Chain A
């Protein structure tokens, strides 16, 4: 079946540290992949996406590359800020026979000043 596996949190980093949040997926075919972010008290927001193999999504200093060989879509940022503290969700989209996201369980990031 289709599924998304994320590294468990929480992840605690100091400001300006390098961030990696691992995400791997299992799916039929090659679905589009997404990272969503949920800031405290707010709704889910799209952070970045990639629609085919080797695509790199990027936004707000975050990047993720769609790796077909390793079925991965790891999220990275070179220098995190306190304002990046949030919960990050990796997701894939199913469009065959339906239209829905499959989400990972989320990874909480806490950045300390």
Chain B
């Protein structure tokens, strides 16, 4: 596709529910990233994939958060037993390759509200 797409754009979940957020990166991009952006803050790194390998998951806030990219393309971020503090915009980004000068292309984000 032309850019990174994410779905759903908005998600409301009751506390304790599980949610799954989807990211479709730009075709051919080998690197994929998830960030969490709280209201009024900058994005914070959650996890990074190189193809299907999850190379860094140091930013995942708890074991309730799980990400996968089984075929090296589409990725899913799953949050189990959602809590109110999980409310944020979840951003996905992709990059053509892993070098310092290559920009990451961001999707529009999924706004998650936990009630």
Contact = CB atoms under 8 A, between A and B. Distances in A.
Interface of A: 4, 31-32, 34, 36, 42-46, 49, 51, 89, 91, 93, 95, 97-106
A100 B93 CA distance: 10
B38 to A, nearest CB: 10
B56 A103 contact: no
A106 to B, nearest CB: 5
- Chain B: number of interface residues, binned into ranges: 20 to 34
A7 B3 CA distance: 30
Contacts of B48: 98-100
Interface of B: 3-4, 31, 33, 35, 40-45, 48, 50, 55-56, 58-59, 91, 93, 95, 98-101, 103-109
Contacts of B99: 95
Contacts of B4: 43
26 contacts: A4-B42, A36-B106, A43-B4, A43-B109, A44-B43, A44-B106, A49-B101, A51-B101, A89-B43, A93-B100, A98-B48, A98-B56, A99-B31, A99-B33, A99-B48, A99-B55, A99-B56, A99-B98, A100-B45, A101-B33, A101-B35, A101-B104, A103-B43, A103-B44, A104-B42, A105-B42
